[in-house]
Amino acid sequence: MRFALIGLEGMAGNMARRLRQQDVEVVGYDADAERGKQLADESGVIATTSIVAALRKLPGDSPRIVWLMLSDNDAVDKEIKNLAGRLSLGDIVVDGTNSNYRDSQRRGALLSQSGVWFVDAGILDGGDGLEQGFCITVGGERDHVNIIKPLLQALAADDGAGWAHVGLAGAGHFARMVHSGVESGVRQALSEGFALLQGKTSFSFDLSKVAQTWIQGSALGGDVLDDELAKAEAEAPTGTQSPNYDEIRWSAIEAIEQNVAVPVISAALQRRAGNQGNL
């Protein structure tokens, strides 16, 4: 299977590497040509110098798949509009960026006017997506999702089982948004717990020993606890490394619109806002 991956920075680069390990043909483009060259030398990604060049290398006898991994929301809108004029009936655009679900709904509607299909993918990396795989929630029409299913299975954790089709366009990013809100609340609670342990100086807690004990048999554990422990040992239990700030804010706004109480997520948002100097 061959598809185009637009944007190769960070997690996207590891996605390309993981796909190449499973012999998926990745046609890559990044504004930083050196990233593409490095991935080409390292894993056999077919590096191109433009999105137009990437499209030319895709097969013409099946739906062309273009997967966007861009960090800037304006850049995503720009490429969606460009692709609407360059792709053909039945081609598929996958948006794997950290987009607001409302933007995903809007982009899906825009592409549909040209007969181009749209899938949004909320991608989560537990810390080692290259080796362990990714957690992916996708939104879109079932028939369209089924076409990209081989890519999702190759990327997903748990031997390809760590992905799910969760609804229509926008649902994948909505699920990721809520996950970020939940994770921020968990991180905030752990951060506060370590602050309490540190504050009880009469016990001289070994935070590492406490955390390692929690990991072994309690309901707490994993990368989130490891991250918060590292911050506590650095004497900075402030929750500053929690998930994407915008996604936490979007979760809180959605809760207001639905009239659903989310005090933990709201508290985590307020802490993050204070650390960032904005609301």
What pLDDT, in 10s, does the model give residues 213-249? 888 877 776 666 676 666 665 554 443 344 688 999 9
Say yes or no to pLDDT of 211 above 60. Answer: yes
Average pLDDT value over all residues in the chain = 89
Say yes or no to pLDDT of 12 above 60. Answer: yes
Q: What is the pLDDT of residue 217?
A: 72
What DSSP character marks residue 95?
Answer: E
CA dist 187 and 42 (Å) reads: 35
What DSSP character marks residue 65?
Answer: E
Share of the chain above pLDDT 90, in %: 65
Residue with tokens 């996708």: 138
Tokens of 213: 């004990």
Q: What is the pLDDT of residue 22?
A: 95
Alpha carbon of 267 to those of 199, 253, 273: distances in Å? Answer: 21, 13, 10
How do residues 44-86 score in pLDDT, each as one tens digit?
999 999 999 999 999 988 899 999 999 888 999 999 999 999 9
Q: What is the pLDDT of residue 84?
A: 94
| Mean local confidence (pLDDT), 160-175 | 97
Radius of gyration of the chain (CA): 21
| Mean local confidence (pLDDT), 15-24 | 96
Domains of the chain: 2-168 (3.40.50.720), 176-276 (1.10.1040.10)
Phi–psi pair at 67, nearest 5 degrees? -110, 115
Please answer whether residues 89 and 115 qualify as being in contact, where contact means their C-beta atoms are separated by less than 8 angstroms: yes
Burial label for 228, CB within 10 Å (0-12, 13-18, 19+), is buried
